[in-house]
Structure 1
Amino acid sequence: MPLVRIDLQQGRSAIEVRAIADAVQDVMLAVFAAPVGDRYQIITEHPRGHLIAEGSGIGIERSDELVIIQVFHQGRTTEQKTAAYAGLFRILAERTGLASGDLIVSMVENTKEDWSFGAGRAQFLTGEL
């Protein structure tokens, strides 16, 4: 059950935003083996100029089409993470035309006690999940 934050600049249509969100979910299902129907995404659109991401000195060019994705997860392997990076870029490039420099992905690992899905309980710890 990954929780995904998707940050992008304002100006895309609702259809484009949904295409990005759907592409991310498809990778979570395929690479992270998230259960079908287990979708947690937060999409935030920022005014132009409110996402600042320089190339980190590795020759990456960015544009106003920048997409930043944070994936909060538990227990994914290095192989799954690297497959997710490649899959996210491949699918977003195919479906939305995203340029190679316009995707930043960060994986944030946490543990079972770091989640509550409601009712004030830690469902992974209580055995509900």
Structure 2
Amino acid sequence: MPLARIDVAADTSAETVKIIGAVIYEAMTGVANVPANDLYQIVTRHAKEELIYPEEGYLGVTYTPQIVFIQVTWNAGRSIEVKKAFYKAIADGIHERAGIRKEDVFITLIDVQREDWSFGNGEMQYAPKP
């Protein structure tokens, strides 16, 4: 049920975007116990002036124009340990497979309830059972 929004610079190659998406999906299924085939991603490319970050860095982390913003909306309930492992798997995987600095992998999570999803047909597929 996760939805990943991936925001990258306009000049990011199609191959790099494909790698980023694959790494996120692999971390979801391998670390966060997301079911197979539960793959929903939205990739948006941006002009340089549309990706805004502190050029002097923040919390000891500095960024470059290769920054990748990843926002994942998923069901609430995962532990802090799972979330930490998820962040690490994504940053390590993107670095190893796409050559993007770990510092340039910015991730946020949005926890929602199961009933906050409709996968189509105007239905609440995960409606609470009476």
TM-score, with normalisation over the residues of structure 2?
Answer: 0.91
Shift of 1:59: 2.5
Shift of 1:100: 2.5
Deviation readout 1:75-119 (Å, 9 max, x if unpaired) = 221111110011111101100111132011101000012111111
User: What aligned pairs does 1:87-102 form with structure 2 within 5 A after superposition?
Assistant: 87-102=89-104
* Counterpart secondary structure, 1:123: coil
- Structure 1 outlier segments of 4+, above 4 Å: none
Shift of 1:46: 0.6
* Counterpart secondary structure, 1:60: coil
Distance 1:84 1:11 in 2: 26
Kept in 1: contact 2:115–2:128 (CA 8 A): no
Q: What 5-or-longer segments of structure 2 have no aligned partner?
A: none
Kept in 1: contact 2:92–2:102 (CA 8 A): no
Q: Is residue 38 of structure 1 aligned with residue 38 of structure 2?
A: yes
TM-score, with normalisation over the residues of structure 1?
Answer: 0.92
Q: Is residue 112 of structure 1 aligned with residue 126 of structure 2?
A: no
* Alignment coverage as a number of residue pairs: 126
